[in-house]
Each structure stands twice: as structure tokens, then as C-alpha cells.
Structure 1
Amino acid sequence: MRIGVSGWTYPRWRGDFYPRGLVQKRELEYIGSRFPTVEINGSFYSLQRPESYRRWRDAVPEDFVFAVKGSRYVTHMLRLRQVETALANFFASGLLALGHRLGPVLWQLPERLRFDPGTLSAFLRLLPTTTGEALALARRHDVRLEGREWLHVDEDVPLRHALEPRSRTFGAPESLRLLQQHRVSLVVADTAGRWPLFDALTSDFVYVRLHGARKLYHSGYTREELGDWGELITAWADGRGAGDGRPRDVYVYFDNDARGHAPHDAETLISLLRAP
């Protein structure tokens, strides 16, 4: 079970979660001292650079894990269609420089993108299942990445993907079958009722995003609510919460950062999970 936050460069956290006087360039280092994982969300808005990924990698402990949010150009602009070059550019942009600290890749879909079997199947087939496959795909990048690409992996290891749709149509049996077939996790997203909360387990890991209990991105979670999430997470992790009884790795990211709740809620959840 890995519990962390989505992003780390929030002014609201300074002098609150971050100690007063902590310089901004050491905020990720501080995150690494408090949590075992963080979600990189800047990669959603634009392609990052290899030197950024290397700097982030070097700021955290050896056993730390980064989840990386996939490019919105792929999900929101191309809407999963004809995305091979865009995926190649994304994987060439530097995330492979994270090495063994690279965790799941998150693909968040727009609300108006409905499930289409052909589109989803074609997209899932393109997703690399190992870092070696990701490297092969990255080598097909276009000229926009020339001179700023990262084309190296230390070893060929499995690569995980999670899909966060915001249309209820992705709960259709055929959608779940495709996700299971490609071992892609259907994200469990708590969005204060704004978007559907899926609970189907479609992979060997569970990816949870907690966006706020009552007001999207703004509201915190009570200790009781976090206790309920803790019970679910523990059940997924030990197999009691899975229909097949198999334990799952669980990644949890708090995204209710607008008023600074995210890191405090993450710390409370961790303390509850550690309690006897």
C-alpha cells in the first residue's frame, strides 16, 4: 500500500504542511521524507524534460515511486485516436529516466469521452507493457523531441497503466473486459459525486484518487471517512476485497489540494493503516 499526494508545488502548503522557510527546490525532498509515492501531474499539461525527471528521481529515497499522469494531448485533444506519435513523444520526454522509481502511468479521460470499443481497444494495444516496449515506442518520436529526448532504460521491467474515465459508459461489461485483457487498472475516483466511482478490479493493482469528499478538490476527509477508505484499501491489499481473493498492490493519491487538505489527509490515512 502506497499513499501519497498528487503534485507537490502548491503555495497553500508552504508554512502549513511544508515547514516555514523550506526552500521550494527542497519540497519534493520533503515529500519523499513523509510519503512513499507522489503523482507527477505536470506531465498532463505539457511534455516535461529529461533533466526534470532526473532531478526528481535524485530528490527522493531509493524505494520511492512516482506515478506519472499521461499527456492530455493524447486523452483530451486526440481523444485516444491516432495517438501513436503522441505516445512516442510522451515516453521519449524523460519519464524512463526515473528508472526503478517509475510506477503506474495514469490516463485521465474527459467527461464527454464515451466508451467506444474500437477506440479503447486500439489505445490499449498501443500502451507499452514493459519499459523495453516503452523505449521502442519512444524511439519513434517525431522531430519535436529531437535533442531533448531520453532513450535509455537500465532494465526491461513491467510497466503499469491506470485509466480514469469520467463517463459512466466505461462501466460497461465490454469496457471492463478490455481493461482486464490488457491488465489496465480502472481508477477508483472519489469526486464528491461529480463523476462515477467505479469499483471493478481490472488488474493486479488498484489505483485510487481522492479528489474530495463533499466539494471537488476543496473539501477534506473526516477521520471516520479516512477509516472507511483504510478498510477498503486493506481489503484490496490482502485480497479480502477482491472477488478472486488475490491481493493487490494499492496506490492512493489525494488530489484535494485547493485548500491544503491533501497532505494532511494522506498522513492521517497512513497513521490509521499503521495503527494496530
Structure 2
Amino acid sequence: MANPHTALLKLTSIFIFIASAPKLGGSSKTFTLVNYCKETIWPGVTRSDNHSGDGFTLKSGQSTVYTAPDGWSGRIWARTGCNFDSGGNGKCQTGGCGSSMNCSGPGNPPATSADFSLGEIDYYDVSLVNGFNLPIVVKAMNGTGNCSTVGCDGDLRQNCPSELASKDSDKVIGCRSACDVFNTDEYCCRGTYGNPATCLPSNYSKIFKQVCPAAYSFALDDPTSLITCSKADFVVIFCGSRNQTTCSYHDKQVACNRSKGYKAIPQSCGTSAIFYHGMGPAVAKKRGKRALGGEATL
């Protein structure tokens, strides 16, 4: 097991300038998507009501802007290891959402997702309920309310339990959920396990929670994972970390600073004895108002 340690990290500044974005009509919200991964990714965006959506290529170090109408509810995630032909047809190692660049369905697990339900109050979260393929961080910019930064502090692929690991040529490319692997009522929160009294964390979900403390690791993770904010635009950072990525927002320009590397995450929860597991929702739902505080410090 790894021991936690602290190291001085050299900051590198990457400035992301918001350019023109596709307009979906009406009052809108801006999502700036930033790729801090070492490799190219293919973000997917789908609506929660019909799973129709978009997809595009985002090279390492690049950013782009996606604009959604007020009231939009949906999911943003990254596809990895994709191979598309000149007609936009192909497949991906993780997060695939059909056979084309534009998504025709939700991302196949394992896939880390950022989920949003927009309105007068915006609800958002990062979810590992469908597994993990890379770290995601979501920051709310210039909003009022809780507006906390959610997501990951490290990369779960580095210490995924072997029985959950999704591999390609012996390389771990994702970490599947216990529900996806074992398909039992206990892990999937079905039947008698489908309520708050019995839908509890498992030793597997605790490992997920160590790496991504502000993310859904099981179905009823709302107190720590579902966040509310008003009048904010959002930054979705792939392969960033909550405590090592800071962003500022002025005159429709986003500037983010990222520290190199991730902090060590101790794998203190063993997996020899498994108890309960919950499968969390893929899209943030409006389940009641949470207490709203001051503006978030970014």
C-alpha cells in the first residue's frame, strides 16, 4: 500500500481563451472543456432525456467551449483510445457512445462523467457510478451558492483493484464498478438494497471515494457529491485534480493553473471482505434544496 506524502510541485500556467461556441438557442450556459491528459480524448455530450448528443476531438493541452440552453440536463465525459475514420465512424476503448463521432447514447462503462441539471438553481456532480476511465474536475465560475469544486484528486487507474480493472495489452485503461463486474443486488442497489437504509458504501466504493472524494461512488452519496450553484458557467477539466488546478474567469476568458502530477492516494481499504455497494445516478437530479452559502473561492 502506498503511503501519503507531500511534495513541492512546480506550477505550470495554461491559459484557456474562450472562443466562439456552438449555440443551442435561447438563454445559455457555457461549459469550457480542458484536456490536461497526456493523450488525445474525445469528449461526449448527451442529453438525459433522449441521449442524443455531440462529440469531438480534444488534443492534449487544448480547450473548447460547449454552450447549452438554460434548463438543459445531461452528461459530459471523455472517450479514450478512439479510432475514427474520415467519415467520423469508429469505436473507442472506453466511454464509447455509438459508432460515430457524435454520440447516439450514453457512454459505455467504465466512464467517469460530469452530470448537470440546469435551471434557476444548477445541480452538478462528478460520478464514478458507471466506473472510472480518467479523472474529471468540475469548477463553477462566478456563481452564487455552494458552488464547490467537485471531482478527483488522483487517477484511480493507478490503484484499481485487479478484479475491477479494465485492461488493454496489460495496461489498465479503466476501473469498472462492482455492480458492472458482479451484477448483484447488493452492489447495484436493487431489490431490498434499493433504499437509503441498505444502499451503503462497499469496500470497493470506499477505494473510489479515496481517489475522488467529491464524486459519487455509490447511489446515495448526495451529502458529499451533489452540489448546487446559481448563475455560473462551468469548467470541466479532464485529468486535472481539485486541489492542484485553479481557474479564474474575467471578461469571458478562463485562465487555469495546474500543478504537475497527482498526490499519492493510500489504498487503505482492503477488498477481501465485501459488504454493500450502491449504484449512483448518472445524471444529477433535483432532489431538494441544499443550504446555500457564499461564493466559491477559485
TM-score by length of structure 1 reads 0.30
Tell me: higher relative CO, structure 1 or 2? Use CA pairs within 8 A at least 6 residues apart: 2
Structure (1/2) with the larger strand percentage: 2
Structure (1/2) with the larger helix percentage: 1
